[in-house]
Amino acid sequence: MIPERKLSSTKKAVFTSTSRLARALAAGKKRLGIGRPRSGSGLPARKSIVTLVWVRRFAQTFFFALFTWLLFETTFRGSFASSESSVRLPYAVEGFLLADPFVAAMTLLSTHTIYRGLAWSIAVLALTLVFGRVFCGWICPFGTLHHFTAWLFPSRYGKGTKRVESNKTHERRQRVKYYLMVGFLAAAATGSAIGGLFDPICVAVRAIGLGVIPAAQYVAGVAGQGAAASNIRPLQSASDVTQDFFAQAVWQPKQFYFHQTWLIVVLLAAILFLNRFVPRFWCRVLCPLGAFLGVFSRFALFGMEKDHAKCTDCNLCLVHCQGADSPQGGVKHRQDECHMCLNCESACPEDVIKFRFLPKRVSTTREPDLVRRTTLVTAAAGAIAIPASRIADVIDANYDKRVIRPPGSVEEREFLERCIRCAECMKVCPNNALHPAWFEAGIEGLWTPILIPRIGYCEHSCVLCGQVCPTGAIQKITEKQKQGIGQKPISIGTAFYDFGRCLPWAMSTPCIVCEEFCPTSPKAIWIEEVDVPKRSPHAQENGKEPLMEMVHVQRPHIDPSLCIGCGACEKVCPVQDAPAVYVTSIGETRSTTNVILLENTSYTSGKG
Amino acid sequence: MLSPPQTSPLSRREAITRLAKVGLVLGSAGAIGKLAYDRGGMDLARGGSAPQTRDYRETYPPADLPQMAIARGAPGLELDPKAPLPAAAPDPASLVLRAITAMGGMKRFISNGDIVVVKPNIGWDRTPAHAANTNPLVVAEVVRLAYDAGAKTVVVTDASCNEPGRCFQRSGIWKAAYDVGADVVLPSEHRFRGMRLGGEVLHEWPVYKALVEADKVINVPVAKHHNLSKYTGAMKNWYGALGGRRNRLHQNIDVSIADLATFMRPTLTIIDATRVLMRNGPQGGNIADARDVHIVCASIDQVAADAWGCGLIGRKPEDMPYLAMGESRGLGTRNWKSLRVADA
């Protein structure tokens, strides 16, 4: 034995901390319900179920982390690839959208095709056919966010009876998502993938990518400025190191801004806040993807069996029920609402709930309980919404000049058939050029991508928006196609000069930054060399009019046959508030009517 | 604690406490008002007035060593566009080595433990063949020589015009410099600091912190055509030291360039003229616009370097207003032939 005084102080510390750790672990176990006596008959849950509940928690954490990481990686950070190699993202950052069967179904109805990677959604459908809505309970990052939020803020309705009541099936409320789904699918069939406004993955990418991440960057930037102004060296360098890390791993070196993004963020906050009243309100009431999977979960091979006779109505199953799918005895289980979280079986102290393959379906309702008339009315509403929105003067007549679509976009009608407003293109755009439209493209075009050159221009050699677009609204073009190497380049608009504001034109002042930045070769901006009079700003001493002098300036002109509408000229124009050169959508390659030049006009090829 | 019954009179202690609390709140408000009182006026926000210029030149340039060295890969190429190209293109790195060796070696400029900033032109999303950015092999060789001379850290950086990630990658400079151990820094908002340039038109501008916190700065521009200033090389390369809205500088480009060259005086200027963009500058875009010249020129005088460089695209130093301004401000001489020039 070692006499105690011979133990070094460090060893003592280790011993103390070990015992502290053991105590903390014991406390944790108690809190998690391990080792706590179970109520009622106290029958322990099956080992397999207890394990699966933990596997589910890890899966949720993993998929949420994966989603967040892919969102962070939805940006170009540069690489050591050679000068000549084409710039692409190394990962399929739009993976969660590709696996989204609701997106696949909408675009299948609108375009009659399954675009490329969307075939992955069949895997999620297959998973649903075997296990039910495991996507909702185990995989969906937005679902996990709600699961977490509902756990974090249950304050008022989080305890006892109120909590049990809030987790009981609420028929009228939970039908809403099916009607939404039906309406959106009908709208897709009549030509608009507008359901992307409500698709959970789209909502998550849009709200986190365009709202939460830029806001966090803004706050970090303000903190960084504070640190820089503090003149405390260690604080400054620590701040620089932190900013570098975030700029390289989370966001990008430049602060991004997004057009009218406040509503997107407010809606996210509102949806999350609703968890305070009804846990997973979004998943149970609004989510059209959940409804879509709910429709297919009727075929699931895995499901619940209940032994009603053994139920003591302790309601423990309802305490942590995610889907509000009636796990308790005495009523039928709602398989279409169940997220397969397995909390109910894990909690049940009797021998009532059993999840198994090929269960007897006597105590299960498998189909959504819908009112046929309401279903038909919502379908009709969805179907007429699109033509109704198009009688407004936004597409066919008075097409808005600000609707500058990303390069490689398909013609506007087909674009609306495909675009699910997921905001992947806006997130990936390295110049912060793409923004969620407000009402520029009509109510139907809300949050579809438009280019706002004053905030950022379209980088000449960049085709990343097409790479990440999951539905082909922006096609996967190559640099050669975009820049027009050996072919006609892709144009997204045309630049125009406001001669009244242009420095060489109106103020006899040299400038031509626009010409310098024009990326085409030969340049679409050409220069006219002129000598023009300029008045001296000072009156002569004898009170006579100020003197005139001749100055040499270069006056810029646009060649519309070469302009690709990238907006670099507008971005760099020094006339800050209303630039002297600006881009409008006219002359876009994708349209045969929104053109200026006769040689680009053709009524033979397709619509538009 | 129970409150005293209503009937009993207020105790002295209680009354004093209440009065003290009121006094404390009022006093604090008054103190804050006094300390934070804003007198208004338009000029209060302005800081000091002394220009914060940066002079990284040698204190005493040795009289026996050249002030300029020109390493030519093949004779006559700079003057005659039709001159035959050498059968084997000379390695840009070897041209850098020859020029620096002729100047007396990198040890002349760099001491042990120096933090050296190498400032190439990484302005545009163009590949080396377009000659809009400095040749990556030239940058890498400068970095290598700086490390060999004892530099502690060599930073390679520029504030690009196009999207920086793309410029750094596609110029080839990111990889080339990283491979020889340089600390390649991409521009980011927190890397700039407002400084008083004290120029004629440039007053307060955000400046790249790396460039003002270095021990030595080596300017490694590419010589090329520029539609507004006609030729751009060493002096105009300092545009890349600035953040903010540089697009306004063009309204008075010559004075802006002279102001920047007054603010930043590098240890050494190495002009990359291995391949020169002859028209459609500064970004070019057509490989046919560039021509192989195979020259690297090193100089301790940035005005002289540009006076030599503008000849590459057929300009005379007398026709370049910003060179005249540079000379009259005492930044250097346009008559580069008057310097001790070594033919490396």
Task: Tell me the torsion sign for CA atoms A109, A110, A112, A118.
Answer: negative
Task: Check residue A18 and give its pLDDT.
Answer: 56
pLDDT tens, residue by residue, B271-292: 999 999 999 889 998 999 999 9
Task: Check residue A607 and give its pLDDT.
Answer: 46
d(Cα A430, Cα A433) in Å, to the nearest integer? 8
Token digits of residue B270: 């190495």
Question: Are the C-beta atoms of B250 and A510 separated by less than 8 Å?
Answer: yes
CB distance B190–A513 less than 8 Å? no
In chain B, what's the furthest Cα-to-Cα distance? 114
Task: Check residue A154 and give its pLDDT.
Answer: 67
User: What is the DSSP secondary-structure string of B86-139?
Assistant: PSSPPPHHHHHHHHHHHHT-GGGT--TT-EEEEEE---SS--GGGTSS--HHHH
d(Cα B162, Cα B187) in Å, to the nearest integer? 11
Q: Greater confidence, A608 or B274?
A: B274
Name the residue of chain B whose CA is nearest to A241's CA.
Answer: B190
Mean pLDDT on A247-262: 94
Please give the helix or strand (H or E) that residue A355 lies within, else none: strand A353-357
Please give the helix or strand (H or E) that residue B168 lies within, else none: helix B164-170
d(Cα B95, Cα B292) in Å, to the nearest integer? 13
Using DSSP, state whether A555 is helix, strand or coil.
strand
> Is pLDDT above 50 for A2?
no
Among the residue ranges A78-92, A135-149, A504-518, the one predicted with the least confidence is A78-92
Q: How many CB atoms lie within 10 A of CB A92?
A: 16
In angstroms, the separation between the Cα of residue A161 and the nearest Cα of chain B is 38
Question: Are the C-beta atoms of B333 and B326 separated by less than 8 Å?
Answer: no
> Is pLDDT above 70 for B168?
yes
Name the residue of chain A whose CA is nearest to B161's CA.
Answer: A517
List the single residue in B172, B227, B247 with the smallest CB-CB distance to A573: B247
List the single residue in B128, B168, B227 with the smallest CB-CB distance to A512: B227
Mean pLDDT on A174-182: 97
Residue B66: asked if its preceding bond is cis (omega within 30°), the reply is no
pLDDT tens, residue by residue, A427-479: 999 999 999 999 999 999 999 999 999 999 999 999 999 999 999 999 999 99
Which amino acid does the sequence have at B334?
A: R
Chain A CB contacts of B136 under 8 Å are: 83
Mean pLDDT on B302-309: 96
Name the residue of chain B whose CA is nearest to A510's CA.
Answer: B251
- Asked if A86 is an interface residue toward chain B (Cβ–Cβ < 8 A), one would say no
pLDDT band at A7 (very low <50, low <70, confident <90, very high): very low
Using DSSP, state whether A28 is helix, strand or coil.
helix
- Asked if A522 is an interface residue toward chain B (Cβ–Cβ < 8 A), one would say yes
Q: For chain B, which residues lie within 8 Å of any Cβ of chain A, measuring from their own Cβ?
A: 125, 127-128, 136, 161-166, 168-172, 174-175, 178, 186-191, 193, 226-228, 245, 247-248, 250-253, 280, 282-286, 289
Task: Check residue A327 and give its pLDDT.
Answer: 95
Q: What is the per-residue burial (b if ≥16 Cβ within 10 Å, else e) of A12-47?
A: eeeeeeeeeeeeeeeeeeeeeeeeeebeeeeeebee
List the single residue in A87, A253, A509 with the smallest CB-CB distance to B188: A253
Token digits of residue A448: 């579809």
> Is pLDDT above 60 for B200?
yes
pLDDT tens, residue by residue, A318-343: 988 999 999 999 999 999 999 999 99
Which amino acid does the sequence have at B119?
A: K
Q: How many CB atoms lie within 10 A of CB B178?
A: 16
pLDDT band at A11 (very low <50, low <70, confident <90, very high): very low
CB contacts < 8 Å between A and B, how many? 114
The closest alpha carbon to B129, from B344, B292, B251, B314, belongs to B292
Mean pLDDT on A338-358: 94
Chain A CB contacts of B188 under 8 Å are: 243-244, 247, 253-254
d(Cα A405, Cα A407) in Å, to the nearest integer? 7
Mean pLDDT on B78-91: 73
Q: A 553-592 residues with CB below 8 A of B?
A: 554, 572-574, 576
Which residues 6+ apart lie within 8 Å of B223 measured at CB?
B231, B232, B233, B271, B272, B273, B276, B309, B310, B312, B313
The CATH class of the B52-343 domain is alpha beta
Using DSSP, state whether A263 is helix, strand or coil.
helix
Q: Is A530 left (phi over 0), alpha (psi -120 to 50) or beta?
A: beta
In angstroms, the separation between the Cα of residue B315 and the nearest Cα of chain A is 18
> Is pLDDT above 70 for A500?
yes
Task: Check residue A6 and give its pLDDT.
Answer: 44
Question: Are the C-beta atoms of A100 and A135 separated by less than 8 Å?
Answer: no
Q: Is A354 left (phi over 0), alpha (psi -120 to 50) or beta?
A: beta
Question: Are the C-beta atoms of A143 and A341 separated by less than 8 Å?
Answer: no
Task: Check residue A604 and give its pLDDT.
Answer: 60
Which residue has 């697009």 as its token pair?
A: B247
pLDDT band at A9 (very low <50, low <70, confident <90, very high): very low
> Is pLDDT above 90 for A94?
yes
The closest alpha carbon to B231, from B334, B129, B130, B322, belongs to B322
What is chain B's mean pLDDT, rounded? Answer: 91
Task: Check residue A277 and give its pLDDT.
Answer: 87
Beta strands in A32-93 (DSSP E): none
The closest alpha carbon to A587, from A579, A576, A595, belongs to A595
Task: Check residue A532 and give its pLDDT.
Answer: 96
Paired strand residues for B72 = B295
d(Cα A504, Cα A531) in Å, to the nearest integer? 10
pLDDT tens, residue by residue, B28-81: 999 999 999 887 766 555 556 788 899 999 999 999 999 999 999 887 777 666
Which of B155, B186, B188, B278 is best to mutate for the A interface (most A CBs within 10 A)? Answer: B188
Which amino acid does the sequence have at B243?
A: G
> Is pLDDT above 60 for A483?
yes
Chain A CB contacts of B171 under 8 Å are: 83
Token digits of residue A486: 């050996």
Chain A CB contacts of B190 under 8 Å are: 221, 224-225, 228, 239-240, 243
Paired strand residues for B3 = none
In angstroms, the separation between the Cα of residue A78 and the nearest Cα of chain B is 5
- Asked if A243 is an interface residue toward chain B (Cβ–Cβ < 8 A), one would say yes
What is chain A's mean pLDDT, rounded? Answer: 91
CB distance A522–B286 less than 8 Å? yes
Chain B CB contacts of A240 under 8 Å are: 190-191
Token digits of residue A428: 């990936």
Q: How many CB atoms lie within 10 A of CB A325?
A: 28
Token digits of residue B187: 């521009």
Token digits of residue A530: 């002129």
Task: Check residue A478 and give its pLDDT.
Answer: 96
List the single residue in A78, A460, A521 with the smallest CB-CB distance to B169: A78
Please give the helix or strand (H or E) that residue A150 lies within, else none: helix A141-152
In angstroms, the separation between the Cα of residue A82 and the nearest Cα of chain B is 6
Question: Are the C-beta atoms of B160 and B124 separated by less than 8 Å?
Answer: yes
pLDDT band at A597 (very low <50, low <70, confident <90, very high): confident
CB distance A459–B166 less than 8 Å? yes
Question: Are the C-beta atoms of A511 and B251 separated by less than 8 Å?
Answer: yes
Q: How many CB atoms lie within 10 A of CB A480?
A: 13
CB distance B166–A510 less than 8 Å? no
> Is pLDDT above 70 for A4?
no
- Asked if A284 is an interface residue toward chain B (Cβ–Cβ < 8 A), one would say no
In angstroms, the separation between the Cα of residue A256 and the nearest Cα of chain B is 12
Q: What is the per-residue burial (b if ≥16 Cβ within 10 Å, else e) of B270-281?
A: bbbbbbbbbebb
Task: Check residue A158 and give its pLDDT.
Answer: 64
pLDDT band at A8 (very low <50, low <70, confident <90, very high): very low
Task: Check residue A460 and give its pLDDT.
Answer: 95
Mean pLDDT on B167-195: 93
Task: Check residue B6 and give its pLDDT.
Answer: 61
pLDDT tens, residue by residue, A380-422: 999 999 999 999 888 888 899 999 999 999 999 999 999 999 9
Question: Are the C-beta atoms of B175 and B211 separated by less than 8 Å?
Answer: no
Residue A496 phi/psi, 5-degree rounding, is -135, 150
In angstroms, the separation between the Cα of residue B163 and the nearest Cα of chain A is 7
Q: What is the per-residue burial (b if ≥16 Cβ within 10 Å, else e) of B7-28?
A: eeeeeeeeeeeeeeeeeeeeee
Token digits of residue B308: 């030599």
CB distance B175–A82 less than 8 Å? yes
Name the residue of chain B whose CA is nearest to A572's CA.
Answer: B247
Task: Check residue A517 and give its pLDDT.
Answer: 95
Chain A CB contacts of B175 under 8 Å are: 80-82
